[in-house]
Chain A
Amino acid sequence: MNISCQNRRKNNRIKLKAGTDTLDIRLFSTTLLTLLLSIAFTIAVSAEKKENPLILIPGGTFTMGNEKRAPDERPTHKVYLDAYYISKYEVTNAEYYEFWHSLQANNPQKTLESTQHTPENFTHLPHIGDWPERATKFPNHPVVGVSWYDAKAYAEWKGMRLPTEAEWEKAARGYSDRTWPWGNAIKPYANTSDKNDGYENRIAPVGSFPKGKSYFGVMDMAGNVWEWTADWYSDVYYFHSPKKNPTGPTVGSWRVIRGGSWIDTLPRCSTTFRYYFYPTLKTSSVGFRVAKTAEKPQK
């Protein structure tokens, strides 16, 4: 009995040693495989990635708000903004994946820090789908299912920031009173809930509506996805906002979103229409673009 026990222990010891080696090899293989898959995934995402250049919006005064529309668009007022850059397109799945992947890479244990900026899954909406698979499937679709905090974190990771509400509006309407980025005519130049825009009930890849570009050449500022801005929402902010570089109220419950989306009607996609969402929400109709203050030319 004792002998047998010793033998078993011995065997166990041997097995255990052998087992550890196997485990090491397995662990190594699994890590290698994961790494390779991850590299392949990243290459696949990057290969399809569309460039998203920054567009310079010159400093100067523009007209903000609209007296004739919703009460929170009043009063129409002049705003001076310093020069700034804004991304030509909404931030795409492929772009966001780089940020998200860098968090994963820096935190392989997948602690809260690495998962908290993971976009929401939309299993029930196949045209959006789950993360991160949708980054390879739809690399050039705007990223959605991101909270205001996710958007802000991405922008900061890129060395940029979210546009203020005023910056967003100037980039969309230009210097004249354009109802939509392309002008005042009702045209199918944006992905809205309209069935005739070519993207019925689904998100379009960024830049799918070249005729819908704004005066400054910024794309998709009407429809496709709402865009987070940096500002808190207040329905009376325009009555008191600073005339120069306004940055929104100091407190609030909601952050301003602009531009309308694939589930909205064209009037909600106008350059002046204001809407608001809780910053923690992650929905299929809200994405974002990034901005950056332009350096002042040295005298």
Chain B
Amino acid sequence: MRNQLKILIILYLCLPLSALTAEKNDHAKYVQHVEQGFVFLFQGNNKGAIDAFESALAVESKHYEILHYLGVAYTQEKFWNKAVEVYQRSLELKPDNIEALHSLSLVYFKLNQWADAVEPLRKVIMLSPQHARGHELLGKVYLKQRQFSDAVDVLTQAIELKPNAAGSYNDVGTAYLNLKDYPQAIENFTKAIKFGPPRYAEPHYGLGTAYLRMGEREKSKREMQIYQQLQKEYAEYERFTRLTRTEPNNLQAWRGLANVLMQQKRYNDVVPVFQNCIEIATKNKMSSDVIASFYHGLSQAFINLNYPKHAQESVRKAIQLAPNIAVLYNTLGSTYAMLGDVRNAIPAFRKAIELDGEQPHYHLNLSKLYQSVGNHKLAKEHYQAYEHFLSKQKKK
């Protein structure tokens, strides 16, 4: 009896200790999941991040930061309702969290719940009057609610906070269009085109509409044609993007997507696309010329991103696969020139001309290089060749 009592007492004394150890182990698990979640989030692996953050919160539920990050991952995966739920939980723990309020409003916007988005956005702006994204989103919400004067006010502030924001110019243009203030609409749509990314379609539509309502039919027609062309490109982009998602090994789809992205000058986006093309083409044992063309595309993307060393590495691989293609040497020469290595750039351009002497821009590149090293005679010769082949091409 006495022994049993002793055991019971020992057990009783050990209980808090074991509880403490269990708590420590649980916290270690929480930390591990959170760490994993961040790695996934940084890598753009939202599904992995969701699993990790959900697991972390199953262990310790009251972390407003992790609830917000989980919401971000849900939002990126378009799990709107789940995102709303975790953002609300996060805000219960920290009601004045500006970024969580903004994130919640963004999801309401995506869910077309305009009225629900207004209150948190007003709070964002009240707490942080310089919050440009808050102003931008509230402007969009007002547009949807057809409160055009309010939209103009809030979007004008957004532009003050973030000058050259093409999206805000387009939105304020739309608001003015609805307020029938066409000169203001035209001014803002024009700025949206000026400051926007290449091939930004929407402001052309707005501009076309504004011109039409002002009776300027020719200008309107021109803008609408541009809009249609850009929309077509966008549709192509959407089509190829969908195809690459449903058929991840479809090389034609990846190639099409790469072409569209190059046309749109979206060089950051095209890099992983070309890398995928190379991987799939290599796996499928496609011809060397095909694989070389992808390496070449990749090198051109790197050139445009101002990464000459990466570009050179890619074009060298292309040359190894297809040593008799003139354009590859021209690109190689360009990478040397970007790195200031004239000594190696000249032979690369010469090789391009040796393989295809009738391309005017190969001569122009070489002419510029000779000019830079003071060899005016050869610079002149190649410039003349450039003009000659250019006019020949034009005649064709």
Is B32 located at the chain interface by the 8 A CB criterion? Answer: yes
Evaluate contact between A185 and B309: CB separation under 8 angstroms: yes
B12 located at the interface, meaning its Cβ lies under 8 Å from any Cβ of chain A in the complex: no
Q: Sorted from nearest, which 7 A-B pairs have the closest CB atoms? A: A253-B99, A278-B65, A124-B32, A236-B132, A123-B28, A236-B162, A253-B98
Chain A residues with Cβ below 8 Å from B306 are 68
Q: Which parts of A5-27 form the interface with B (CB within 8 Å)?
A: none
Main secondary structure of the interface of A (DSSP, over half): loop
**Cβ–Cβ < 8 Å partners of B34 in chain A:** 283
Main SS class of interface, B: helix
Given contacts A185-B309, A235-B132, A239-B163, contact A254 B99 (CB under 8 A): yes
Q: Which A residues between 268 and 292 are near B, CB-CB below 8 angstroms?
A: 278, 280-281, 283-285
State A254–B94 Cα separation when bound (angstroms): 13
Number of A-B contacts defined by CB within 8 Å: 56
State the Cβ distance, B21 to closest chain A Cβ, in Å. Answer: 12
Q: Is the CB of B310 within 8 A of A186?
A: yes
Residues of B within 8 A of A249 (CB): 128, 130
**B35, B38, B132: residue with the most chain A Cβ atoms closer than 10 Å:** B35
Given contacts A239-B162, A264-B42, A278-B65, contact A120 B31 (CB under 8 A): yes
Residue of A nearest to B38 (CB): A283
User: How far in angstroms is the closest Cβ of chain A from B223?
Assistant: 27
Q: Mark B125-138, 1 if CB is under 8 A from A, else 0.
A: 00110111100000
- Report the contact-size class of chain A (Cβ under 8 Å from the partner): 20 to 34
Taking a contact as CB atoms under 8 Å apart, the answer to whether A240 and B35 are in contact is: no
| Cβ-defined contact, A240 with B309, below 8 A | no
Report whether B130 and A234 are in contact in the complex, using a CB–CB cutoff of 8 Å. yes
B11 within 8 A of A: no
B97 in the interface (beta carbon within 8 A): yes
Q: Roughly how many angstroms separate A251 CA and B124 CA in the complex, as a whole number?
A: 11
Chain B neighbourhood of A124, CB < 8 A: 28, 31-32, 35
Q: B161: CB under 8 A from chain A? A: yes
Query: Within 8 Å of chain B (Cβ to Cβ): is A263?
Result: yes
Please, how many angstroms separate the alpha-carbon atoms of A285 and B39 in the complex? 10
Contact B35 A252 (CB under 8 A): no
Q: At the interface, yes or no: A122 with Cβ under 8 Å from chain B?
A: yes
Asked if B31 and A263 sit within 8 Å, CB to CB, the answer is no
Contacts of A185 in B (CB 8 A): 309
**Which positions 255-284 of chain B face chain A at CB distance < 8 Å?**
none
Nearest CB of A to B106, in Å: 14
A121 within 8 A of B: yes
**Does A35 sit at the interface, judged by CB under 8 A?**
no
* Besides A121-B27, A123-B31, 8 new A-B residue pairs in contact (Cβ under 8 A), listed by A number: A121-B31, A235-B132, A236-B132, A249-B128, A253-B97, A278-B65, A281-B65, A283-B35
Whether B253 is near chain A, meaning CB under 8 Å from some CB there, is: no
